[in-house]
């Protein structure tokens, strides 16, 4: 008989977090599902009363995060898999964003994940095992107009997570950055904060809207089987692109970036560093 694993998932009430929660429960695991509003998890809680713990949490509050992780450990005994999924989108041009909007955005997308990570690592280290999955985006390798702040926050989480992976590997803890493709997660609807649009960027906005189209992407549930396979791997990758189409797009972005570097190689080599 397989021993149930214990998950701690943020942003668990919708989108990818909800999909990962349901997949873990279906596998017979126990889940502490954290979200600002845990109401949408009433159904799963009724179906899995002994396996799902709902935990209201605002990840931007560091003290609340540390307290929530302690409550999670008390509730299920220990943690095996931590998924930093909570996040939102600040949509708008770099010039348009207010200081409050930018700080609020990073408080959730970067600092929120950082606080959770800092809170769980001592527990995982004490057991000398555990997985940390950091949900970022396939777009962290290149900035994109109107979603630059989203990419910046996720890129920062990418870098910190790479450092974390090196630091905690000695304790048996495995860290994987999940560079997600586009899924129908409500990120561009209920999860979005928009800047006040400046008319100077109207034509660019129109071109971006035409380029992106109206396809919201596949159901988040289609990404869950990959995650369930990932957590079973004894030696998981530190970075993983999630999505076939996204894999191709990232490959293309890297090729374009390399070509740009090579085009200016002569200038680069004029400095000795």
Given the residues 91, 149, 150, 183, select the one marked as catalytic.
150
- DSSP class of residue 269 equals T
Distance CA 89, CA 185 (A): 11
Q: Do residues 96 and 148 touch, judged by C-beta distance below 8 A?
A: no
Distance CA 92, CA 193 (A): 9
Q: Do residues 221 and 26 touch, judged by C-beta distance below 8 A?
A: no
- Residue 187, classified by CB atoms within 10 Å of its CB into exposed (0-12), middle (13-18) or buried (19+), is buried
Is residue 183 annotated as part of the catalytic site, yes or no? Answer: no
- DSSP class of residue 243 equals -
Tokens 């348009």, residue?
96
For residue 55, give the 3-state DSSP assignment.
strand
Distance CA 263, CA 259 (A): 6
**Residues designated catalytic:** 150
């Amino acid at each position: 008989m397989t021993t149930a694993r214990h998950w701690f998932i943020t942003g668990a009430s919708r989108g990818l977090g909800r999909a990962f929660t349901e997949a873990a429960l279906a596998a017979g695991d126990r889940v502490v599902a954290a979200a600002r509003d845990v109401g949408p998890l009433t159904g799963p809680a009724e179906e899995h009363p002994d396996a799902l713990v709902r935990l209201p949490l605002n990840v931007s509050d560091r003290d609340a995060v540390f307290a929530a992780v302690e409550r999670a450990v008390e509730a299920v005994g220990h943690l095996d898999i931590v998924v930093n999924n909570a996040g939102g989108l600040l949509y708008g041009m770099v010039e348009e964003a207010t200081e409050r909007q930018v700080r609020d955005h990073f408080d959730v997308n970067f600092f929120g994940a950082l606080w959770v990570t800092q809170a769980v690592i001592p527990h995982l280290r004490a057991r000398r095992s555990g997985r940390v999955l950091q949900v970022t985006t396939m777009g962290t390798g290149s900035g994109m107009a109107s979603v630059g702040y989203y990419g910046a926050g996720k890129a920062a989480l990418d870098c910190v997570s790479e450092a974390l992976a090196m630091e905690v590997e000695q304790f048996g803890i495995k860290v994987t950055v999940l560079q997600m493709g586009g899924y129908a997660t409500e990120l561009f609807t209920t999860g979005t904060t928009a800047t006040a649009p400046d008319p100077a960027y109207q034509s660019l906005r129109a071109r971006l809207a035409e380029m992106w189209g109206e396809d919201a992407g596949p159901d988040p549930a289609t990404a869950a089987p990959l995650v369930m396979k990932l957590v079973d791997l004894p030696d998981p990758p530190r970075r993983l692109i999630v999505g076939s189409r996204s894999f191709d797009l990232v490959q293309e972005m890297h090729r374009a970036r390399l070509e740009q570097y090579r085009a200016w190689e002569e200038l680069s080599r004029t400095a000795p560093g």
